[in-house]
Amino acid sequence: MSVFARLIMLGCLLFCVSSVTIAQTSDPEAAAAVTSGTAGYGDGNPVTVEMFEPAQVAISSSTVFDATTGAVVGALPGQTPVRSTKVNAGTIDGLTTLSTFHNSFAAQNGPSAGKEFRFTMMGGDPLVGKTTTIPAPIDEISLQLLNADGSVLTTVPFAFEDLFLESPNFNATNYRSGSYIQYADAVQRAQYFSRMGPNWHTVLQPTVVNRTTITVPRFVNVQLSNGTIIQARSYFIGTAPDGNTFVLMLNLLFNFFFSNEVVNQINLGNFTTNALNMTLFPNTYLFSLNVNNPNTPGGCCVLGFHTFFRDGAIPQDRWVTQYASWISPGLFGAGFQDVTALSHETSEAMNDPFLDNLTPSWQFPGEPPTAKVCQGNLEEGDPIEVLPNATIPITLKTTGKVFVYHPQIIPLIQWFEMGSSSNAIDGAFSFPDETTLPHSALPCPQ
């Protein structure tokens, strides 16, 4: 199967955004897609690096993307990344990857009651109690958007470096689970608060390793399942209430850019196997193809996802990677703004780095009792993203100014256990707002 078929961006439940007012927009379709669409996160399946090479093909008027797989029709396989980027910090025989530990829980309710669920998480064993530092190389992406004739319409710069780097994802502050720690570390410590060693931490060490400008054509060719080739808009732009430009990008094209960009950074030695590798974008949200009207956006909007890239070597090499967008305020509901996507994806990557941690099938909070709106994995950000208030304000001083960030509240692993009580901090099922989830997950209705 093509790597693009395995890169799933719209596979999770999404929540409806509230109505917003956009000051002005270059494309009316962009405003309509944001105000009437949905917003959330995708889940990416493993990506095989040999499928790609730097500048695999030049995007031109003759390039055709497959509507089902996202692959470039007629493209040749890529090359193997250079071996110098393979740094092993892992504890899994047969893998060259970042530091992980293993544990398990037994479901306490529902059809899976008594069944053991094993999982792998990023970092060191909480019972040992040491600090694990994980590199977080960052590739900052700017977008150069082209007109139909190939001239430059505008450039959307990555203007959020300081705000990203000084956010709670990397900057330390105080939480119930510890003093002067990072956001994801605070969540991890809350989960293991009653069992962890006193000095147990998982610390991200961010470094900007590259600043890339991607050139985006106005249109792309897409081959439908019946062989018909249509021309589709590849992006739409609008202006957020804060004056920043936002970009809606066709996910088929984004898949291509993202995958080749990650492999470029692997080959340059910037993304490494011992790291949580990050591609950060300025107000860039993904939409699906609208087959019936390809000049308007389909389903919108994906704000981030995490995945891992792997090669065919033995031991197998794995680069854990994520995409997250800055989010200007006023575009989406549930408090989604600034680093909500980055916090969501970082916690999910920490708790499910290889996308294979299964759980009992759980129902999304807020659904009617008989609604079978369910999921069965340890994607810890997903249950809360559907709630009306999904974020928590955290005020930090950044570059001499006070800034209020909005990371997403995260369910704790005890929520997925479906027990009547929690052995997490304060008996909580969510963190840092311990009131968001008052009880554990409900089993998916049978």
- CB proximity list for 302: less than 8 A, separation 6 or greater: 9, 10, 39, 40, 41, 42, 251, 285, 286, 287
pLDDT at 78: 67
Would 263 be classed as within a structural domain?
Answer: yes
- Residue 96: in which H helix or E strand, if any? strand 95-96
Would 25 be classed as within a structural domain?
Answer: yes
pLDDT at 424: 98
Total residues belonging to the chain: 446
Q: What are phi and psi of 343, to 5 degrees?
A: -65, -40
Write out pLDDT tens, residues 217-240.
999 999 999 999 999 999 999 999
Would 441 be classed as within a structural domain?
Answer: no
Output DSSP code: residue 93: T
* Spacing of C-alpha 82 from chain mean position: 26
Neighbours of 104 (CB within 10 A): 8
Would 40 be classed as within a structural domain?
Answer: yes
Dmax (CA) of the chain = 62
Please give the tally of structural domains in the chain. Answer: 1
Q: Which residue, 150, 178, 166, is CA-closest to 208?
A: 166
Full-model pTM = 0.92
Structural domain of 235: 3-73+99-431
- CB proximity list for 36: less than 8 A, separation 6 or greater: none
Taking CB atoms within 8 Å and a gap of at least 24, the contacts of 147-154 are 147/218, 148/218, 148/219, 150/217, 153/218, 153/237, 154/237, 154/245
pLDDT at 335: 93
Would 444 be classed as within a structural domain?
Answer: no
Residue 179, amino acid: S
Would 121 be classed as within a structural domain?
Answer: yes
Residues of the chain with pLDDT under 70: 1-25, 36-37, 39, 43, 51-58, 76-85
Would 390 be classed as within a structural domain?
Answer: yes
Beta bridge partners of 181: 173
**CA distances (Å), origin 268, targets 54, 84, 265, 375:** 10, 9, 5, 37
Write out pLDDT tens, residues 256-285.
999 989 999 999 999 999 999 999 999 999
- CB proximity list for 190: less than 8 A, separation 6 or greater: 175, 176, 177, 412, 424, 425, 428, 431, 432
Residue 305, amino acid: F
Beta bridge partners of 143: 156, 214
Q: Report the distance separating Cα 191 and Cα 424, nearest Å.
A: 5
- CB proximity list for 86: less than 8 A, separation 6 or greater: 96, 272, 273, 317
Residue 203, amino acid: V
Q: Where are the beta strands (DSSP E) in 107-197?
A: 116-122, 131-146, 152-156, 173-175, 178-181
Q: Report the distance separating Cα 143 and Cα 404, nearest Å.
A: 26
Would 436 be classed as within a structural domain?
Answer: no
